[in-house]
Amino acid sequence: MGKKSRCGGCFGWFIVFIVVIVVICAVVYTVKKNKHKSADEGPAPIPGPPGAIDQKYAAALKLAMQFFDVQKSGELVEDTISWRGDSGLKDGIQADLDLSKGMYDAGDHMKFGFPMAFTATVLSWAILEYGDQMAVVNQLEPAKDSLRWITDYLINAHPSANVLYVQVGDPKTDHGCWDRPENMTEKRPLLMVNKTKPGSEVAAETAAAMAAAAMVFKASNQRYSNTLLTHAVELFGFADKYRGSYSDSIKDVQNYYNSSGFGDELLWAASWLYHATGEKSYLQYVTGQNGDDFADYGTPSWFNWDNKLAGTQVLLARLTFFGGEEKSDSGLQRYKDTAEAVMCGLIPDSPTATTSKTDGGLIWISEWNCLQHAVASAFLAKLYSDYMLTSGTQKISCSGDSFRASDLQKFAKSQADYVLGKNPMEMSYLVGYGKKYPEYVHHRGASIPAKANVTCKTGWKYLEKKDPNPNVAVGALVGGPFLNETYIDDRNNSMQGEPTTYNSALIVGLLSGLVTTSSAVQSFA
């Protein structure tokens, strides 16, 4: 018998090697293909790791997150903003409550509970959907820290089942001063709603905030999460049982955060409680008689601190995209149909596209704080597009014309890019971003040097100074341009130049969705 060749069997091994290579290539190709699937190609990976970082949006997100630190009241253990210090330490003392935390509403020193709770709800939503993308750019923990700064306050503002403190400070007195929060000496009265003076919208919004936040903290702090959920359930019960508008109970709020009605907040809160608890009673609440009474099915609306219907419709549409038995719920389908009508109104080429926008394409509804509506619309559009991609939904129909998730993505980016400087003024409306941004922001703390010893009355000279603000209100999203796309950078121009914390929550949500190329939203679980 002859010698075996040293290559005996090599051909067989060669065939195996080729097969292995082919299999590996096929797997790699499939993974790459799935990672970049369009809406017509089926679902994106779930949960889907974040993709490549978009440095433009990453830089903007890091700035936007900092405005929450600018607005914090209370004892600032970690003083991340050099010109800020402790303030509001005695807030709530007359009711034997610690209301020192929370955030100042805008450029003043008021704590308005209604928009503050909305800020917490939106920030929670952003974390729940895009927390993995926030983490990639090291912004998840700052977001959670800012959220807890608000929810700690909200917990203390709800000392018993049917009592909620909804305001710290008197607007007339507060707006009669121009001082730093660290130096304020004016009285800080408290306003509350209760069984005899109900406030269904503010109680329900606070319930929504706590239910959403309970999901955020569930994995990391079960005890805190349970506390939030307990408050959420109680507050929703209070809001629903003792129905009435806080604008009727507290006439003073009508000049500042007047409510147009509480039905939308009841639906919004019940929707969040269903997501947080899975209890069918909350689902039945929104799809039954209350939906008929308050949902305004088929009529698109604008999402903002006062009107939660569009947000509720998108949040409930989530169940028809990803839910189990909820997918076939006819009541939920009505919410989804209305959510799609909202989306159709945002896509520029849609037959039902809104005409409420500037020539440059910015959604424009109100001359006061116009960017709120644009950014809120873009945030909802980004969410909806990612629901479509993740679920493999190919298209939506707008009066017979079909549009893909990419059309909604394009719209969302257009609004974000406008804010960041792609506009006729060629300026960023996010303070600190880009080469040109507002320098005379209507913000007391930013306008007064940190070492200046001012009182309520002596600080007014800083409002009138011709120099730019000595302190940069980093990350502030100002009110924005007029319809003709002009912006007057003047400290007295509060209509255009005053930032708000709820603006910040919305822009953080939008930028968090755009910061990487991932198209998969996180699970709420």
Instruction: Provide the pLDDT confidence category of residue 324 given band limits of 50, 70 and 90.
Output: confident
Whether the per-residue pLDDT at 1 is higher than 60: the answer is no
- CB of 121 closer than 8 Å to CB of 502: no
Which residues, in sequence order, are bridge partners of residue 165? 192
Q: Cα dist. 193→200, 246, 459 in Å?
A: 9, 7, 33
- CB of 508 closer than 8 Å to CB of 64: yes
Residue type, 264: D
| Average pLDDT along the chain | 91
The pLDDT, as a whole number, for residue 520 is: 72
Whether the per-residue pLDDT at 13 is higher than 70: the answer is no
291: Cα within 13 Å, side-chain hemisphere: 22
> Quick one: tokens of 97?
């409550």
Instruction: Provide the pLDDT confidence category of residue 523 given band limits of 50, 70 and 90.
Output: low
- Which sequence positions are flagged as catalytic? 442
Instruction: Provide the pLDDT confidence category of residue 327 given band limits of 50, 70 and 90.
Output: confident
Q: Cα dist. 278→211, 271, 319, 337, 501 in Å?
A: 12, 10, 11, 23, 30
Whether the per-residue pLDDT at 109 is higher than 70: the answer is yes
Report pLDDT digits (tens) over 469-497: 999 999 999 999 999 999 999 999 999 99
Report the pLDDT averaged over residues 120-128: 97
Report pLDDT digits (tens) over 182-230: 999 999 999 999 999 999 999 999 999 999 999 999 999 999 999 999 9
Q: Please state, in angstroms and rounded to a whole number, the distance separating the CA atoms of residues 471 and 84.
A: 10
Report pLDDT digits (tens) over 345-370: 999 999 999 999 999 999 999 999 99
SS3 labels along 439-461:
CCCCCHHHHCCCCCCCCCCCCHH
The pLDDT, as a whole number, for residue 48 is: 58
Provide CB contacts within 8 A for 298, sequence distance 6+.
Answer: 334, 337, 338, 341
Q: Cα dist. 40→37, 43, 327, 393, 410 in Å?
A: 8, 9, 20, 7, 16
Report pLDDT digits (tens) over 264-273: 999 999 999 9
Q: All domains of the chain, ordered by start, with CATH?
A: 41-514 (1.50.10.10)
Query: What percent of the chain is modeled with pLDDT above 70?
Result: 90
